């Protein structure tokens, strides 16, 4: 397999990724991105050498499995939208939401039926395809995904739940893109579940753009459970206008190798973001997660909270960046990065960075990498619990500060079950 650094992409991939009846503006965007790929550098994830990973080993001739995958999926009752590979498996939005102007559809339908909305926002505000080689690849080769639009002044009482499944039963490229547009003064929650069926070695590229207009509020939660043989690149970005707020809660529970960019640009005055991430690394897994908040607006506020647990010989690197641009008077940037080591053979690191170009601000950070608290273990074991059970309870308490923000109880329980499975299967928990 060729590495991500040396891989030359076949031009046939560009045509293969295109949607049926694709509008001219999107075809032009793809072509511009394609022309930039070899000129751009790969993004840097400090202390993670991912260049040898096959992140760009896309199938030049796709051979998908067309059998009904329903028996392989977790329960989908609580999800409004489910896609498996390029195929939409479920799309269910009630009439009340449709009457309010809410749009939920697959990306192919979106670029055809809602072209005006997409042309102004897709790779235009939250994600710039010219940023690096991987963003250009994702713009050029996007072949599926979801579009959610909530109009001005609309409040959704229940979260919109999305599921995107990578189909690794055969050869099918997975370059999945979700675009969420929050109209002015809209308020709603979104849950995204990303998983894998099948066991072939494949890359997965998952991009989420959230454009939050004035005074909107979006609560975005994610549960990532891609397979052991999947090499994953995540890019989740937020663009926040005046008074807008996005709260991110992400559970990174993949079984394979992962690099991720989780960023928010606080463009508007008074904009606010909370970015919370939990991650669990096991076996020989390597994960590098970069989270950045950039304050452009006056009196904007961005807070980062990252917590991770490592077992066995795994690696987990948290890089957190709080950046305050000159002119962002009264801005606030805080971050906390905590890594819990359950094995002496694991490698964890937490790297907080503050880049401040303004005087009238409040900023700070905290970071720690350490082993499990022996006093907590002793207390629990003195109550009759085994060491293994006591460790698992400490870990759940350590990660619980983020888990409680998952909006759907069933999904929250799924996340806890997956954590329990990963913990119980590893030597480091003994």
Sign of CA pseudo-dihedral 337, 44, 361, 269: negative
Tokens 């085994």 belong to residue: 386
**Which pLDDT does position 428 carry in this prediction?**
47
pLDDT > 60? residue 427: no
Average pLDDT over residues 12-28: 95
**Spatial distance between the Cα atoms of 64 and 124, rounded to a whole number of angstroms:** 31
Per residue in 137-178, pLDDT tens? 999 999 999 999 999 999 999 999 999 999 999 999 999 999
In 54-95, at which residue ranges do the beta strands (DSSP E only) sit? 81-84, 87-91
| pLDDT value at residue 425 | 66
pLDDT recorded at residue 1: 56
Q: Is 294 helix (H, G, I), strand (E, B) or coil?
A: strand
φ, ψ of residue 287 to 5 degrees: the values are -135, 130
Percent of the chain exceeding pLDDT 70 equals: 98
The Cα 332–Cα 273 span in angstroms is 10
Q: Is-contact 341 373, C-beta < 8 A?
A: no
Q: Strand pairing of 258-266 and 230-240?
A: parallel
- Answer for the pair 313, 346: CB distance below 8 angstroms, yes or no: yes
Helices 24-36 + 133-141 axis angle, to 10: 150
pLDDT at 65: 86
| Model pLDDT for residues 183-231, shown as the tens digit of each residue | 999 999 999 999 999 999 999 999 999 999 999 999 999 999 999 999 9
* Both structure tokens of 386: 């085994």
Q: Where are the domains of the chain?
A: 12-371
> pLDDT tens digits, residue range 298-342?
999 999 999 999 999 999 999 999 999 999 999 999 999 999 988
> Element (H or E) spanning 264, and its range?
strand 258-266
Using DSSP, state whether 293 is helix, strand or coil: strand
User: Regarding predicted confidence, which is higher, 377 or 117?
Assistant: 117
- Percent pLDDT > 90 in the chain is 77
**Cβ distance 363 to 332 under 8 Å?**
yes
Cβ proximity of 200 and 226 under 8 Å: no
Q: Which residues pair with 164 in a beta bridge?
A: 83, 194
Among the listed residues 149, 144, 150, 162, the one whose alpha carbon sits nearest the alpha carbon of residue 107: 144
Helix (H, G, I), strand (E, B) or coil at 137: helix
pLDDT in tens, 106-133: 999 999 999 999 999 999 999 999 999 9
Cα 382 to Cα 48: distance, rounded to the nearest angstrom: 40
**Cα dist. 293→35, 312, 384 in Å?**
29, 31, 44
Q: Residue 2: its pLDDT value, please?
A: 60
* Structural contact between residues 91 and 105, judged by C-beta atoms closer than 8 angstroms: yes
Rounded Cα gap, residues 126 and 218, in angstroms: 14
| Cα(410)–Cα(105) distance, integer angstroms | 23
Higher-scoring residue by pLDDT: 71, 321: 321
pLDDT at 44 over 50: yes
Quick one: pLDDT at residue 372? 79
Least confident of 69-73, 97-101, 121-125, 241-245: 69-73
pLDDT of 30 above 90: yes
């Amino acid at each position: 397999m060729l590495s991500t650094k040396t891989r030359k992409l076949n031009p046939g991939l560009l045509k293969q990724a295109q949607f049926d009846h694709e509008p001219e503006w999107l075809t032009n965007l793809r072509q511009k991105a394609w022309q930039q790929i070899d000129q751009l550098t790969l993004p840097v994830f400090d202390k993670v050498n991912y260049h040898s990973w096959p992140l760009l080993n896309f199938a030049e001739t796709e051979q998908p499995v067309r059998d009904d995958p329903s028996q392989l999926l977790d329960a989908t009752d609580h999800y409004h939208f489910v896609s498996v590979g390029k195929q939409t498996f479920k799309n269910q939005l009630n009439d009340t939401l449709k009457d309010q102007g809410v749009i939920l559809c697959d990306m192919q339908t979106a670029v055809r039926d809602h072209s005006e909305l997409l042309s102004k926002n897709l790779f235009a505000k939250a994600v710039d395809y010219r940023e690096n080689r991987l963003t250009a690849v994702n713009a050029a080769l996007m072949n599926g995904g979801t579009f959610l639009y909530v109009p001005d002044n609309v409040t959704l009482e229940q979260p919109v739940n999305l599921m995107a499944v990578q189909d690794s039963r055969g050869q099918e490229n997975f370059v999945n893109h979700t675009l969420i547009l929050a109209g002015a003064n809209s308020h709603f929650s979104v849950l995204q579940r990303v998983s894998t069926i099948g066991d072939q070695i494949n890359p997965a590229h998952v991009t989420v753009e959230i454009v939050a207009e004035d005074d909107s509020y979006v609560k975005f939660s994610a549960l990532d459970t891609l397979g052991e043989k999947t090499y994953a690149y995540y890019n989740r970005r937020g663009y926040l206008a005046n008074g807008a707020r996005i709260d991110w809660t992400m559970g990174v529970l993949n079984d394979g190798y992962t690099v991720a960019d989780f960023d928010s640009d606080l463009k508007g005055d008074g904009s606010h973001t909370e970015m919370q991430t939990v991650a669990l690394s096991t076996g020989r897994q390597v994960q590098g997660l970069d989270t950045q908040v950039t304050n452009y607006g006056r009196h904007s506020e961005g807070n980062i909270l990252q917590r991770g647990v490592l077992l066995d010989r795994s690696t987990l690197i948290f890089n957190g960046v709080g950046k305050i641009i000159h002119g962002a008077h009264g801005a606030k940037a805080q971050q906390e990065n905590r890594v819990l080591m359950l094995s002496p053979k694991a490698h964890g690191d937490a790297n907080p960075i503050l880049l401040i170009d303004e005087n009238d601000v409040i900023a700070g950070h905290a970071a720690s990498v350490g082993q499990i608290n022996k006093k907590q273990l002793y207390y629990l074991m003195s109550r009759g619990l085994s060491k293994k059970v006591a460790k698992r309870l400490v870990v759940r308490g350590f990660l619980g500060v983020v888990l409680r923000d998952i909006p759907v109880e069933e999904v929250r329980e799924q996340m806890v079950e997956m954590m329990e499975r990963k913990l119980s299967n590893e030597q480091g928990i003994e």
